[in-house]
Structure 1
C-alpha cells in the first residue's frame, strides 16, 4: 500500500551511507502522524528517542563502523513487549499507568543490530483476542479496509507495517496472533518452532504455546530479523540455538523440488469460508506446480483441542488478574474475565486432560509429517470481520466458538511447529493468507517455501 522501503533495502542504504538513518526514521514518524489518526496502530510514539538513536547510527557510519544488519530500520514494538522507560500496559486498564523497567530480548537484540524502535503498537487486552480493540486504546483498523479488523492480537503492528508507516513490527503468536494479522493485512507472519525466538526476560508462558516473532512485507525482511534476534537466552529456558546457516542465506539454498506437499482446507473438519478455501486452494496449487513439489494426500484429522488450549492458558491470564485492584476488574474484557473465572474452577484432572490432549495432537502430527514434508492450509478460515469485533460465531454456515474460529492456527501453537502466513489473494474485501507448516526445527525450509511462493505470486498483486 506504500512506496516505503522494506527493511533490508533501508538497512543496506544506511550501512553504505546512501541514506541517513535519521531521514529514514523521520519519514516513518511523518507517516505515523499522517496515517495513524485513521488506523489506531500506535499507542505510544517516542519521536525524540527514535531520532536520537538514528543520529547515533549515522555517527557510526561516519566513523566507518558497521551499525548492523538492521541499521536505521524503523521498528514498531507490540505493546506486549517491554521497552525500558516506555508504557507497559499490555492493552489493559489494570496496567494503564505502568512503565517498563526492562527491555524484552527480542527488542534489545534488534536494537543491537541497528533497528530504531519508534513506538508501541496496539494489542487487545493481554493479547487474548483475534481482533485488536481494547477499553484502554480503542479500535485498530485494517489499512486495506478500515471498517474491517487487521486481526489480532498483533493487529497494531500489522496495521503499521501494511500501511507503510514502518517496514517491520514485532508480534506474538499464542494461538495465531502473527499469522492471522498477516493474513488479513497481506503480510508475512512467521511463527517459528517453539523457542526459536527467545521470550525473556520475565515471560511467564506457563502454557508453553507463546511464540515471539515479527510482521513484515517480505520474507527476506523476516529472515534478516530472525537472524538478528534468534539464539539461546538465559532468560528463556525454552530458547533454541541459532541455526548453523543464517535464515537469510537459506532462503536461496533450499531446494523444494520433489518435496511431498499436502493441502488441507480444513485440517479434517474445521469449517472454512468457501471464498477463502477457493482463493487459498488456488494458491496452494500454484505453489506445488511452481516449485516442482509433489502433492500428496493430507490425511489429517485433528481432534478438537480448544478446551485443552483454554485450560493450559488459564494460569497465564490468572497471573495478570490475581493481584489486580478490585475496582478495575469490572473494566476487564469479558474474554479475559472468563479466563479469570475458569482459574477458580481449575483442577488437576483438567490439567492432566489438557496435557494428554496436547500429547495426542503431537503424535498425530508426527505421524502426518512422516507422510509429507510441508502442510498447506488457509491461514484464516473466514474473511476479515468488523474492526470492533466480535469474532465470527459462524463460518460456512456452521456455528463456531472462539477456538473453532482459530482451528487452523492454534494447534500448531500447542505442537510447536513452525508456520507462516503469506499473502494468497483477496476474500471479503481484504487479503487472505496461505499457511505453510513444517516439521519442528525445519524453520529454514518453511521460510524458503514462503519465499518461493512470494516469487511465484508477488504481492501486492499486479
Structure 2
C-alpha cells in the first residue's frame, strides 16, 4: 500500500494564515483520518480531541482579528509519548508508568504550539524508546502504513506511522541511536537529527549519556526546516542547548550552494554488514544526487572501531537505570527483557568501563574530525536492513553475518555518540518498504545537511 499524501506543514500553515482553511477544519480532518486508519496501525496511544479543537478555535479567532498565529498556524501535531505534554498520559511506553500524567510540557512541544501548531495526541514508542521497532506490553504493536506486516521502525515508530499514513503532517521524535532516522527510512519520510543540542530537550530531561537528540518527522525537507526554525534556540532548562542559527534553516535550502563539495559514500562505515539490496538501492540514489547536485565524489576511507557499540551501551545504561531504580521489585517482570538487560548492566557498571567508554567516544570524535578534513558530506544507508516484522525482534543476522542488538544501528548510533548532524531522506524501496539515504555533516553544519537533503529530494522526485 502507498500511503496518502495530504497537505504538508507549509501548505497547511499558508492556508490557515490566509483564512482559506480554518484550523478547526485541519484538526477535524486529522481526527477523521486517525479514526479511519489507526485501528490497524497503532500509531497513537492518546488523542486529545477536545484540547485540539479548543486550540483550533483560538487560532481561527486570531486569524479573524487580522493577527498572524505563526508559521505553524493550524498544523496538527503528533507528539511522541517520550515528550511530555501537561495533562496528557506520560507512560513512555512502559507499564511501570501506565497511570502517570505529565505535569509539564516539553520545550520542543511548547515552542511548536507558540508558533501555531495544534497537538492532536501522543504517538507510540517502545518502552523508554529502547528498540528499533515499536511494540510494547502497554500499547501493543505499531505497523508500517506501506506494509502492515512490517515495522515502521523505532523508537519514533508511532510518529513515523502517523505522518506516513497522512494522519498528521508532522510529529515529534527522539533519536538516541537512530530513532528518527530509522523510522524515516522505513516510512519514506524525512528524519533529521541535528547537531547535539540543536533542538533543546528541556525541561527536566535527566539523561546522562548525552546521546539523545530531539526532532521531528515530516514528509518534506522544507517542512522539517520550518519546524526547526520554530523550535531551535537556547533553553535555560537544557545546558547543552545551542543558540538559534543566524540564518533560518528554511532560507538555507539552496541546492546550488552544494556545487563542488566533496561527498563520500560508504555502505558500512568500514565494518558494519549491510543488506545487498539496501546497499544497491541507496547507492543508486547517492549517485543520482552526486550527478544532479554537481558535487564531487571522493573516497570515504573510514573505518570506525568496533568498540563504539560497547561504549554506547555503557554510556546508556545509567539513563535506563534512572527509569527502573524506583520501580517496586514485583513490577520489573513487566519490563521488556532488553530494558531489563540495561538494568542488569547498571548493577555491574564500574569506573573503568565508564572511562573506557568516554575514551572510545573521544577517539570516535577525533576519527570523524579527521575524516571531515577529507570530505564535506558523508553518505550511508540510514539503516543496513530492510524493514522487518512489526512484532520484532530486531535482526540477528545481516548479509549472512550474525549481529547483536546494535547490528541494525551500526550506521546511525556513532553519530549520536559524536553529536554530528544527520538526516534520512527517501531513497527508494527495499524488501517491501521504503529505505533512506543518510547524509552526515560536520558538527554545526546542520544547514548544509538539510540543503543536501533538499537536493536529494529534488533529484529523486
TM interval, shorter chain, is over 0.9
TM-score by length of 2: 0.99
Other-structure match for 1:333: 336
**Maintained 8 Å contact 1:94/1:325:** no
Other-structure match for 1:102: 104
Other-structure match for 2:28: 26
Cα deviation, 1:366-422, whole Å, max 9, x if unaligned, reads: 000000000000001000000000000000000000112210000000000000000
**Maintained 8 Å contact 2:59/2:74:** yes
Q: Distance in 2 between matches of 1:357 and 1:254?
A: 37
**Maintained 8 Å contact 1:254/1:445:** no
Q: Distance in 2 between matches of 1:329 and 1:253?
A: 51
Give 1:207's match in structure 2, choosing from 199, 206, 209.
209
Other-structure match for 2:50: 48
Deviation at 1:328, TM superposition (A): 1.2
**What SS does structure 2 have at the residue aligned with 1:120?**
strand
**What SS does structure 2 have at the residue aligned with 1:13?**
helix
Taking the TM superposition and a 5 Å limit, the aligned residue runs for 1:59-458 are 59-252=61-254, 255-304=257-306, 305-458=308-461
Deviation at 1:2, TM superposition (A): 1.4
Following TM superposition, the consecutive aligned residue runs of length 4 or more in structure 1 with deviations greater than 4 angstroms are: none
**What SS does structure 1 have at the residue aligned with 2:257?**
coil
Deviation at 1:123, TM superposition (A): 0.1
**Maintained 8 Å contact 1:83/1:100:** yes
Q: Distance in 2 between matches of 1:10 and 1:187?
A: 18
Cα deviation, 1:80-117, whole Å, max 9, x if unaligned, reads: 00000000000000100000000000000000000000
**Maintained 8 Å contact 2:190/2:224:** yes
**Maintained 8 Å contact 2:263/2:298:** yes
**Maintained 8 Å contact 2:260/2:295:** yes
Deviation at 1:252, TM superposition (A): 2.7
Cα deviation, 1:167-205, whole Å, max 9, x if unaligned, reads: 000000000000000000000000000000000001012
Q: Distance in 1 between matches of 2:256 and 2:17?
A: 28
Cα deviation, 1:251-295, whole Å, max 9, x if unaligned, reads: 137600000000001110100000000000100101111000000
**What SS does structure 2 have at the residue aligned with 1:205?**
coil
Q: Distance in 1 between matches of 2:5 and 2:110?
A: 28
Cα deviation, 1:25-45, whole Å, max 9, x if unaligned, reads: 100000000000010000000
Deviation at 1:312, TM superposition (A): 0.2
Deviates further, 249-258 or 410-419: 249-258
**What SS does structure 1 have at the residue aligned with 2:233?**
coil
Cα deviation, 1:320-357, whole Å, max 9, x if unaligned, reads: 00001222110100010000000000000000000000
Q: Distance in 1 between matches of 2:320 and 2:193?
A: 21
Give 2:39's match in structure 1, choosing from 34, 37, 40.
37
**Maintained 8 Å contact 1:178/1:214:** yes
Name the count of aligned residue pairs: 458
Q: Distance in 2 between matches of 1:325 and 1:388?
A: 28
Q: Distance in 2 between matches of 1:3 and 1:142?
A: 15
**What SS does structure 2 have at the residue aligned with 1:370?**
helix
**Maintained 8 Å contact 1:151/1:184:** yes
**What SS does structure 1 have at the residue aligned with 2:334?**
coil
**What SS does structure 2 have at the residue aligned with 1:220?**
helix
Deviation at 1:3, TM superposition (A): 3.4
**Maintained 8 Å contact 2:255/2:454:** no
**What SS does structure 1 have at the residue aligned with 2:364?**
helix
**Maintained 8 Å contact 1:273/1:396:** yes
**What SS does structure 1 have at the residue aligned with 2:68?**
coil
Q: Distance in 1 between matches of 2:17 and 2:63?
A: 7
Q: Distance in 2 between matches of 1:94 and 1:16?
A: 46
Q: Distance in 1 between matches of 2:324 and 2:5?
A: 43
**Maintained 8 Å contact 1:183/1:422:** yes
Cα deviation, 1:119-143, whole Å, max 9, x if unaligned, reads: 0000000000000000000000000
